Amino acid sequence: MSKATSIPRAPRKRPVRLRVLATSDIHLHIHPHDYYADRTLRSLGLARTATLIRRQRAQAPNVLLLDNGDFLQGTPVGDYIADNPGLLKEHPHPAIAAMNLLGHDAATLGNHEFNYGLDFLRQALAGAAFPLVSANLLGALGGKPLLPPFVILERSLTDDEGHRRCVHIGVTGFLPPQIMAWDSHLAGQVTTQDILAAAREVVPRMRARGADIVIALAHSGIGPAEHREGMENAAVPLAGVEGIDAIVAGHSHALFPSPAFEGHPGVDAGRGLIGGVPAVMPGFAGSHLGVIDLTLQHDGRRWRVTDSDSRLLCAEGLPPDEDLLRATAPAHQATLARIRQPVARTEVPLHSHFARIAPSAMLQLVADVQHDAVREALRGTAHEGLPVLSAIAPFRTGGRGGAGHFTDIPPGPLTLRDLGALYPYPNTICALLLTGAQLRDWLERAAGQFNRIEPGAPGQMLLDAGFPGHHFDVIHGLRWRIDLRQPPRFDHEGALANPGTRRIEGLEFAGRPLRDDMRFILATNSYRAGGGGHFPGCGPGAGVWRSAAPLREILAAHVRRQGTIAPAAEPFWSFAPLGGTRVLFDTGPGAAAHLDDLAHLHAEPAGEGPDGMVRFVLAL
């Protein structure tokens, strides 16, 4: 081996500092607008992220901007362009136009790029002024792949002494192989490869072609540390592939680095490393910009990464970039006009005024949509034979939102904006495999929203004011009564408080008593399935299926298909009779018009409640 002799070393090149900026999962949130609620979003929108990008560029001499996929779908803007593909002959797709304007250096595809079909995708990508790559999206039957597996960007970067240095930056990309299942129309047109298998092939090829450094755009989440063939969230095993210098992760819309990943196997959440490789995952819809700073040192043969730092910058509240707003304004304006137009009709009012105390037509509609989506998705799977039930809670029922925080859609035309009021959250649909015992406790957990009622005593409030309405789940497909004389079995946090008591009685499925050992599929939403409200059988990773599209989109497609809807509130749950005990119930001022809904409770107005609410007296 060489000794430390007196041979003078050649003067070393000074280090080059490269700042890699990353966007991911923008989902056509360019203008910071919630198209379902029809109002400005403070925390999202690529136009806000663009302000971060401009500021970062001003601070660093060498900046690269990359996008990690899921840019073509996600707001009604995407549907508008997809329904009018002729627009692409005149102008680039707004998602592409935005990246052209921001000067993206390269991008990869996510799973949602395939939602509108391959022809549409090709047309949209044709407008890109930057290279797109994907290493595990292959052509079918030896056909030509849609995109090259990688690109080598030759960039003249400025070193610490101001000298220009030529650096070859290799960029490759990966998407979940599951696109073949999620978009079945792709069969015969493309195929996908396991992310790790593709990475092990492509990285050495990039090195052989002269890449000094290799950046992996992984449209894939931070999941298990062990590789499994075909895995969807492969960022951790991917980091173990020799030769990858930085990773942009995504797809699961999480934040990295962030405390959410503390203790996650293979991950250093504090330093922003996955398997020792600097990495970011910049959230969703432009909520954050990923920043990876790489220090490059020349070793006599090539540039190598000798140090790194990765972090996220939050876009919340930043002024949107005016140029970007202007460049994408036509699609935005056309979409606004569209969401304000009817997509269907409802023959019945859809309102939430009584959704916490009686079956509701509005909840029936959403429950049906969840049920149908789950039944369809599980067809041909091991769970096909199990009965599908559907759990749903009302979202807008006063609470912290006040007396105006109710949904009240009159009979007549139904707009996309109305559907946003009907279902205000971007949840997806989930399917859980549960036992009869778990469903019984599910309803007990929900029944905790009522105060304990003493029969015959006057002036008792029916609802426990500390219980949020969005935890009052009902399960469509079962029948039961609630005995309000009993104390709640669970507390507000979902912890078992009174193990000896039960409020749910007469619980039936298909006309027979529900047995604890029966097995069911329960359709619910991603928030609940992920552990929101601490319901039985829920938590991170729970469930046998999850929809790719948000529930709201599936709901919109459902009502469009139906044309005219008339959901009915069947009396599948009720209070056990308490000899006519009169209780008080406060709700929104619009409730008076719907009092017929509560005929079975002999509801009568009883003056004003607090904070603009109205009060009713009910007989149990």
Residue ranges in contact with Mg ion by CB under 5 A: 70, 110-111, 251
Residue 25 or 368 with smaller CB distance to Mg ion: 25
Nearer to Mg ion, 251 or 440 (CB): 251
With beta carbons less than 8 A apart as the criterion, state whether 148 and 189 touch: no
- Closer to Mg ion by Cβ: residue 110 or 149: 110
Q: Which residue is nearest to Mg ion (CB)?
A: 251
Find the part of the chain contacting Mn ion (CB under 5 A) among 63-71, 115-123, 371-379, 451-459: 63-71
Minimum separation from the CB atom of position 251 to Mg ion (A)? 4
Q: Which two tokens stand for residue 465?
A: 């004011």
Site stretch for Mn ion (CB under 5 A), options 18-26, 208-216, 533-541, 576-584: 18-26
Choose the binding region for Mn ion from 68-76, 194-202, 365-373, 518-526 (rule: CB under 5 A). 68-76
**Residues in CB range of 56: below 8 A, 6 or more apart:** 19, 21, 63, 289, 291, 313
- Taking CB under 5 A as the binding criterion, the range among 24-32, 425-433, 524-532, 568-576 that sits at the site for Mn ion is 24-32
C-alpha distances in Å from residue 387, one per residue of 12, 29, 67, 433, 521 = 70, 38, 42, 10, 6
Q: Name the minimum Å distance from CB 277 to Mg ion.
A: 21
Residues 6+ apart with CB under 8 A from 297: 12, 13, 15, 303, 304, 306
Give start and end residues of each alpha helix (H) in 24-149. Answer: 46-59, 76-83, 87-90, 94-102, 118-125
Q: How far is the CB of 427 from Mn ion (least distance, A)?
A: 14
Residue 316: CB minimum distance to Mn ion, A: 19
Q: How far apart are CA 267 and CA 591, in angstroms?
A: 52
Q: Is 212 in the site for Mn ion (CB under 5 A)?
A: no
Specify the stretch interacting with Mn ion by CB under 5 A; choose among 25-33, 170-178, 330-338, 550-558: 25-33
Residue 111 binds what, of Mn ion, Mg ion, none (CB under 5 to 8 Å, by partner type)? Mg ion
- By beta carbon distance, the residue nearest Mn ion is 70
The stretch among 66-74, 125-133, 430-438, 450-458 that binds Mn ion (CB under 5 A) is: 66-74
Chosen from Mg ion, Mn ion, none, partner binding at 473 (C-beta under 5 to 8 Å by type): none
- Which of residues 26, 33, 52, 70 is near Mn ion by CB under 5 A? 70
| Terminal CA-CA length for the chain | 92
70 versus 183: smaller Cβ distance to Mn ion: 70
CB of 95 to Mn ion, least distance (A): 13
Quick one: 70 or 321, whose CB is closer to Mn ion? 70
Window 508-567: residues binding Mn ion (CB under 5 A) = none
C-alpha gyration radius of the chain:
28
DSSP class of residue 496 equals: B
DSSP 135-204: SSEEEGGGPPPSS-SEEEEEEEEEBTTS-EEEEEEEEEEE--TTHHHHSGGGTTTEEE--HHHHHHHHHH
Examine residue 413 and say whether the peptide bond preceding it is cis (omega within 30 degrees of 0).
Answer: no
Closer CB to Mg ion, 70 or 105, in the complex: 70
**Secondary-structure breakdown of the chain: helix, strand, coil percentages, each rounded to the nearest 5:** 25, 30, 45
The dihedral over CA atoms of 369, 370, 373, 374, expressed in degrees to the nearest 10, equals -150
Nearer to Mg ion, 31 or 251 (CB): 251
Task: Enumerate binding residues for Mn ion (CB under 5 A).
Answer: 25, 70
